[in-house]
Structure 1
């Protein structure tokens, strides 16, 4: 069949013009060749990393839109930053519509992979590992998208981060799915972000499992509308190894799921097992702050029908011993500090099947010695608020490959 001029023009418009594949093999000079390919890429290009270990002494960066960086597999293609000079990221992405797939980053001096202001980004089967295990000298974040709209993290794995393994901050339209976070301070953290789904992940061996936080004094405020469902949150027993001064340095060892100062968070159908402080904690931000935009209270946090057992048997909380004794030797499944914004906005709504207690604190900053623990008296949850439109856009799902 003869192709008309109009047909040819339509085909050209449907695909990137002059899309190229840049193939980079491991070996001498690989770092320079890889960075050159990232700089010279055009929208629509692929940078393909061969199998092997890429020994790098400097961080990498990408600022071209619509580029795919892919390797031969998260255990086959390794970007090794053990000898990295300086404390920067392993890879920094500042462009939109980027796909990162099928490679590993090991031992970066700073964060593993950071994407900033990078909308519509996909991380799939990416591994970030600090091979020496949990240490305060490890980089803070493994996978670290921030200030973005449209984030999809799928089938990834992070271990050893001294802050959060998988962290999404100051962003919207987020999905974190089918990933593994282990031996980090925080396994998965959603911070100052909205419209997020965290689902079907395995979060184990961290200090704290899944954190949904809102903090003051950040450019983007007002996190909420977060769905945490169908995750396995187990055996988060690693002592906190965050550097002193970090906000997560205060996360108790053995925290399963913790919601702090966030609104409309739905925690449902998770399996939460063997977390020695508590399965689920809902708390107020207790440090002093001057940010007038900030609301330190949790609002409408729904703890629905989760499967939780063998939690709360060795809590890591200062002054908690009398409280534990009052509870008969183990903290209950759901713990709330008792603080709320006002009488009209419940901090917690809970399933009757989730045994919960309140510490009945009356003001921010009180010690555990002042707690007056008692059974949780909160409204049972009903139908969730309108959760249409949360999670990563469908266009990002279409970029996943098997």
Structure 2
């Protein structure tokens, strides 16, 4: 009797396992086929509704049709999982204008989760991208990844676990990134070589670096400018840097709140920046990347920055990286809230030895935040902590207006 009962249990378990192995791939394959066909056959104005459920996919979805909407039932209800992906790199690759993607999640892609290339008119709303195994160098590089786009709105979304940037806009113009949450990425939110961007009401925590504004050489579009970073919560970015070696973000020190590199015309205001263990705000030239500059038209210096009316607290107790640990021997700990490498373009200095007024690094009304110009160019020989040379403010930039996108 006991043997018969055991055999029945074993047979039942085997059948159940067999059913699971047979049915799940068929269902996911059907979902993939149906969704990809809808994306291919869509016409401008088509709304593709995805059902609730978790769908296991082994290859990328893609679209090249203008004017479509891809809509799920919610970022925790419609989940596209690419764990074990065997074909393609992205989860979803989109090339087209006037695109809306909303209310879904993309998990565990081999490469980027959601990449949009060359779009004019893009809305990404209530989308979650995540690598569920925690921070790893083998995670995909980017979560939400519009590149060379115009009129971009990213809102109310979540990005977790990207080995480069959770929410990224690159070589783009007229961008709004608002009310998102970025956690456990190398860079939480990054604007790179982008003009006219508003980054506000976001939360960046547990990343290597919270919010980055970079301008880099050797890209088709350069000259990032007119970026506003305001009313964000940027705190406790404590994750060790897990970017693959060679990536520019592999240079970001663990525990950086806001980092501005080689970018002009950035306004940072009314943010709450705290408890970032290396430094709450870091302003540097491209030279700290220690990479050769071959791009003759590239400007590696940060200029015309306005940092005002922010709240700083905590942080700076545990600087990361050889360069900053050496600086700590000179500067002491905790690091000041705002740390500037002090490297400027000698050709632009006035006879008084300062930058022209329109290019100054301006710091004003940041409470009791402290500051240091580290004089990196001269191996920290003349560290200066006085705020007076930076007591100025550039005119504020106008709010970004998007064309063809409801704000």
Tell me if 1:372 matches 2:382: yes
Q: Which runs of 5+ in 1 are unaligned?
A: 1-25, 364-368
Residues 391-402 of structure 1 aligned to structure 2 (within 5 Å): 391-393=400-402, 395-398=404-407
Tell me if 1:123 matches 2:138: no
Asked if the contact 1:182–1:206 (Cα under 8 Å) also holds between the matched residues in 2, the reply is yes
Asked if the contact 2:181–2:203 (Cα under 8 Å) also holds between the matched residues in 1, the reply is yes
Given the superposition, is the C-alpha separation of residues 108 and 392 from structure 1 closer, same or farther in structure 2, using an over 3 Å criterion? farther
1:143 equivalent in structure 2: 144
- Equivalent pairs counted in the alignment come to 367
Structure with higher helix content: 2
Q: CA deviation at 1:88?
A: 1.4
**1:188, 1:308 → 2: CA distance?**
19
**2:31, 2:88 → 1: CA distance?**
20
Asked if the contact 2:360–2:390 (Cα under 8 Å) also holds between the matched residues in 1, the reply is no
**Partner residue of 1:358 out of 373, 389, 394:** 373
In angstroms, what is the RMSD of aligned CA positions?
1.7
Structure showing greater radius of gyration is 2
Asked if the contact 1:340–1:346 (Cα under 8 Å) also holds between the matched residues in 2, the reply is no
Q: Deviations over 1:202-222 (max 9, x none)?
A: 000000000000000100010
| Greater CA drift, 79-88 or 319-328 | 319-328
Q: CA deviation at 1:90?
A: 0.5
Tell me if 1:314 matches 2:318: yes
1:227 equivalent in structure 2: 228
Q: CA deviation at 1:391?
A: 2.6
Given the superposition, is the C-alpha separation of residues 41 and 171 from structure 1 closer, same or farther in structure 2, using an over 3 Å criterion? same
Given the superposition, is the C-alpha separation of residues 371 and 135 from structure 1 closer, same or farther in structure 2, using an over 3 Å criterion? farther
Asked if the contact 1:207–1:254 (Cα under 8 Å) also holds between the matched residues in 2, the reply is yes
TM-score (ref. length: structure 1): 0.88
| Greater CA drift, 375-384 or 176-185 | 375-384
2:279 equivalent in structure 1: 278
| Greater CA drift, 121-130 or 84-93 | 84-93
**1:38, 1:140 → 2: CA distance?**
24
Q: CA deviation at 1:372?
A: 3.3
**Secondary structure at the counterpart of residue 108 of structure 1:** coil
1:154 equivalent in structure 2: 155
**Secondary structure at the counterpart of residue 40 of structure 2:** helix
Tell me if 1:297 matches 2:301: yes
**Partner residue of 2:393 out of 365, 382, 398:** 382
**1:192, 1:245 → 2: CA distance?**
19
Q: Which runs of 5+ in 2 are unaligned?
A: 1-26, 349-354
TM-score (ref. length: structure 2): 0.87
Q: CA deviation at 1:397?
A: 2.6
Tell me if 1:134 matches 2:116: no
